[in-house]
Amino acid sequence: MPELVLELNGQTWTLDRTRSYHLGRDPQADLVFQDSRVSWRHASVRWAGQGWVLEDNGSTNGTFSQGQRVQHLPLVPGTVVHLGNATDGPRITCSAPAAQQAPPAYQQPPAAYAQPPAYPQQQPAAYPQQPAAYPQGTPSHQFPQAQHAQQAPHTPAMPAAAPASPVPPSGPPGGAPGAGAPAGFGGGPADRGATSLHRIAVGKVTRIGRALENELVVSDLQVSRLHAEFLAHPDGRFEIRDMGSHNGTYVNGQQLPKNGHRYLGQNDTVGIGHSTFRLVGGQLQEFVDTGEVSFSARHLTVKVNNGQLTILNDVSFGVPEKSLIGVIGPSGSGKSTLLRALTGYRPATYGEVLYDHRNLYTHFAELRHRIGLVPQDDILHTALPIRQALRLAAQLRFPGDVAEAERNARVEEVLAELKLSHHATKRISSLSGGQRKRVSVALELLTKPSLIFLDEPTSGLDPGMDRDVMQLLRGLADDGRTVLVVTHSVAELDLCDRVLVMAPGGGVAYFGPPKEALNFFGYETWADVFSAFENYRDYDWMGRWRGSQHYQMYAADLDAVQPQAAQFQPMAAMQQKAQSWGSQVWTLMRRYAAVIVADRGFLGLTVALPIVLGAVSAFIPADYGLGYGPQDRGFRNGDASMVLLILVVGMCFSGAANAVRELIKERVIYERERAVGLSRSAYLMSKVFVLGIVTVLQAAILSIIGFAPRDMPVEGVIVEDSPALEMTVVLMALGCTSMMLGLVISALVRTSEMTMPLLVMISVIQLVFTGALFKVHGSLGVEQLSWLMPSRWALAGVGTTADLNTLTASPEEPDPDPIWKHEAGYWLLDMLMLGLLAVICGYLVMKFLRRHEPEVMRN
């Protein structure tokens, strides 16, 4: 039975097996649909040797049979297919030809059906190559003049833009892929053929993991050695159980609790690493995400200022797998905002991002592992050699049970892929701009993401390097990834498959092939286009795009689903960490120590600072050192307070100076690592431990140089015969508290340049409120303010040991400072207060760090 009859809206087509048929909104298609949910080239029907088959051509809204989204469907008499929506999308019915009806060839549909009135005058002769005449009606070089806007061919009603049938309100299951589709199917991986099938024996346990002893081995470093178990119960129920995996087990995009379990239905999907599993009958279908996935955005809108200001305006675009997309636009047009919305860093207020037809926002916990983001700034410590930096980064990103050898092997693979193997031992800072960008890309490739986003990777690069980087991105896309690059450089745009031009106001001005873009705008150079954006800021660029034929071809079907408020997955799911907290702290400490050792300048200053400050204090003349003065002068020794003041303020400065740039200088790295699972407290702890050790050593050097040439007090208050030790401990505690204060500044500021003035200011304030320059106790307000100063408690700490009240007592009007009393209790109080201030600073750092994190990671 070679022929098949397709019936649509009362019209019939008898198909001939000698040719194939195209279905879509394209007026050149064999079956033309005027429904905006149908893609331009939606599907095709062909004779496959044994029978008729329908192939979905990667349509945006899908092809459905019996409520299920299908990619490949055998057509037999009785088959019913819906395009664009499972329930009310245009319906095609298949039937056998009646013997007497069988016409010799394809029966042309009525002209009125095949040739919608609005298309012909704009339609290119041979889509997708644009004819020379294209774009008819695109702007002249006087564009955009009001007169042009009125004339624009698209301004008249575009029938295809208005759906012929009602648009479903929010995408019923299977209707709007990713939006309402259960479990990410009804769109998504199930549409492709399963990568493999696994039998599940009833009553048995099927273990899934990376280790070879599992029944189902998944060779993916994102998967734990023993990750999860499938249980097929004798009563017919199936169950999935997480086995304490590092990166989590996901059912329908939602993460199972660690060691949690869940019973599975036939439509449920289980996500483990790059694999997705689904039960079909008694078998387990596995789909492996190799990167070849479609990607689209619908109605992305970002509003700020309580919804008063729209900075991203209804952006929709979509690309098939292996695409390179360039995003360009004038400054402030919303490119970074778009990037943040697409990556989930700052989810859009409205709209959705579809990854392989799955809603990225609602499946973010699972899908975020498949996204790589290369920000504009380096995301590796440039003081480190490439290989070492990548190895340390790999340690943070891969599950704790990935052996070092496995991680290192992956690092070597990526180095080779990006042609960096020869440079692997070079410091990143010594590389050219283009090579540095390669290193950042290499880092992101470690976990094999399917989607890679880059923010202005070529800024600051010369034209040669610009081309080099763009060609690298082209290669990444060709190898089976989707790559989206925000760029200011237009020289190499032709390497992209699609270019998205953002207009002032955050809307789309154009989306389509780069070669057609200038023609679309009616200008010869991009400089002219950008000037037009600048000169005609109030022009309705978005409206012009919406009315264009390109919009019909490349975005209208995406817009056919109504915008809806973006839903984001609960934050709890973001807590998944590949590594345990302790392991993260340990890795970060090692990395930090390596960076400090590699940074000779910092290391030199760190050692020099306490030596110089200690030596300066030694210049202060003090005949009686830090001990009591002569008895006939009432044991007074005013010089001692000056020496102690310099040591205390020096330590304040030293501790804060160590830390003041630490967080701001690697903020981009922190932001990126936080998005891939770094713990905020682990990050802070690593800083506290390493800087704490540095600071304590500095305090020891300062104390040795400061105390060694001096007569010391006769006795301590805690360790009687070692007052120097007591005072050194106070300086160490002061250094650590000041270091925490430095971290507060570092977490607070927006730029590194702001840190130095703040450091000086804080040091001067510390000096003033010690209580050594003037009396602070007893003055309302001043005394309470001084309690906030580490220097006040530290001077009191060393002061109790030295008995500063006696050393500085005024014979006429003795007015001892209550916290300088030469008693053990006061020494302990001073130390306690230093500790408390350090804890408060730690709390503030955590709070301020949160502000610089991707919105999705704030908790």
Residue whose tokens read 């002209």: 111
Is 544 within 8 Å of 645 (Cβ atoms)?
no
| Cβ nearer to ligand ATP, comparing 330 with 614 | 330
Binding site for ligand ATP (CB under 6 A): 304, 309, 311, 329, 331-337
Measure the CA–CA gap between 797 and 821, rounded to whole angstroms. Answer: 9
Q: Cβ–Cβ contacts within 10 Å for residue 88, how many?
A: 16
Report the greatest alpha carbon distance in the chain. 134
| Cβ nearer to ligand ATP, comparing 1 with 304 | 304
Amino acid 652 reads: C
| Cβ nearer to ligand ATP, comparing 337 with 395 | 337
Measure the CA–CA gap between 350 and 559, rounded to whole angstroms. Answer: 13
The token duo for 489 is 């450089």
| Cβ nearer to ligand ATP, comparing 177 with 329 | 329
| Cβ nearer to ligand ATP, comparing 337 with 703 | 337
| Cβ nearer to ligand ATP, comparing 311 with 684 | 311
| Cβ nearer to ligand ATP, comparing 261 with 858 | 858
Q: Nearest distance from residue 667's CB to ligand ATP, in Å?
A: 16
Q: Nearest distance from residue 308's CB to ligand ATP, in Å?
A: 9
Using alpha carbons only, give the angle 581, 587, 588 rounded to the nearest 5 degrees: 90
Q: Nearest distance from residue 309's CB to ligand ATP, in Å?
A: 6
| Cβ nearer to ligand ATP, comparing 303 with 467 | 303
Measure the CA–CA gap between 391 and 580, rounded to whole angstroms. Answer: 17
| Cβ nearer to ligand ATP, comparing 338 with 394 | 338
Is 790 within 8 Å of 653 (Cβ atoms)?
no
Measure the CA–CA gap between 300 and 340, rounded to whole angstroms. Answer: 11
Phi (first) and psi of residue 603, to 5 degrees: -60, -45
Phi (first) and psi of residue 314, to 5 degrees: 50, 55
| Cβ nearer to ligand ATP, comparing 330 with 692 | 330
Buried b (16+ CB within 10 A) or exposed e, 371-385: bbbbbbebbbbbbbb
Q: Nearest distance from residue 301's CB to ligand ATP, in Å?
A: 13
Q: Nearest distance from residue 333's CB to ligand ATP, in Å?
A: 4
Q: Are strands 250-251 and 238-242 parallel, antiparallel or unpaired?
A: unpaired
Query: How many secondary structure helices (H) and strands (E) does the chain include?
Result: 24, 32
| Residues 6+ away with beta carbon under 8 Å from 518 | 524, 525, 526, 529
Peptide bond preceding 144 in cis form (omega within 30 of 0): yes
| Cβ nearer to ligand ATP, comparing 277 with 317 | 317
| Cβ nearer to ligand ATP, comparing 340 with 368 | 340
Phi (first) and psi of residue 461, to 5 degrees: -95, 150
Q: Reduced to 3 states, what is the DSSP secondary structure of residue 800?
A: helix
Q: Which residues pair with 251 in a beta bridge?
A: 254, 270
CA-based Rg of the chain, rounded to a whole angstrom? 34
| Cβ nearer to ligand ATP, comparing 503 with 702 | 503
| Cβ nearer to ligand ATP, comparing 79 with 336 | 336
Peptide bond preceding 610 in cis form (omega within 30 of 0): no
Q: Is 697 exposed, middle or buried (0-12, 13-18, 19+ CB in 10 A)?
A: middle
| Residues 6+ away with beta carbon under 8 Å from 811 | 634, 636
| Cβ nearer to ligand ATP, comparing 241 with 303 | 303
Q: Nearest distance from residue 672's CB to ligand ATP, in Å?
A: 17
Of the candidates 849, 389, 398, 845, the residue with the CA atom closest to the CA atom of residue 595: 389
Q: Nearest distance from residue 488's CB to ligand ATP, in Å?
A: 7
| Residues 6+ away with beta carbon under 8 Å from 781 | none
DSSP assignment string, 300-326: EEEEETTTTEEEEEEEEEEE-SS-EEE
Q: Nearest distance from residue 335's CB to ligand ATP, in Å?
A: 4
Phi (first) and psi of residue 468, to 5 degrees: -55, -45
Measure the CA–CA gap between 433 and 462, rounded to whole angstroms. Answer: 9
| Cβ nearer to ligand ATP, comparing 504 with 655 | 504
Measure the CA–CA gap between 599 and 332, rounded to whole angstroms. Answer: 36
131 secondary structure, DSSP code: P
Q: Is 759 exposed, middle or buried (0-12, 13-18, 19+ CB in 10 A)?
A: buried
Distances from the Cα of 9 to the Cα of 5, 97, 112, angstroms: 13, 17, 13
Q: Nearest distance from residue 149's CB to ligand ATP, in Å?
A: 24
Measure the CA–CA gap between 637 and 138, rounded to whole angstroms. Answer: 90
Distances from the Cα of 278 to the Cα of 173, 266, 366, 703, angstroms: 17, 7, 16, 67
Is 68 within 8 Å of 85 (Cβ atoms)?
no
Q: Nearest distance from residue 504's CB to ligand ATP, in Å?
A: 9
Is 486 within 8 Å of 336 (Cβ atoms)?
yes
| Cβ nearer to ligand ATP, comparing 335 with 821 | 335
| Cβ nearer to ligand ATP, comparing 251 with 509 | 509
Amino acid 397 reads: R
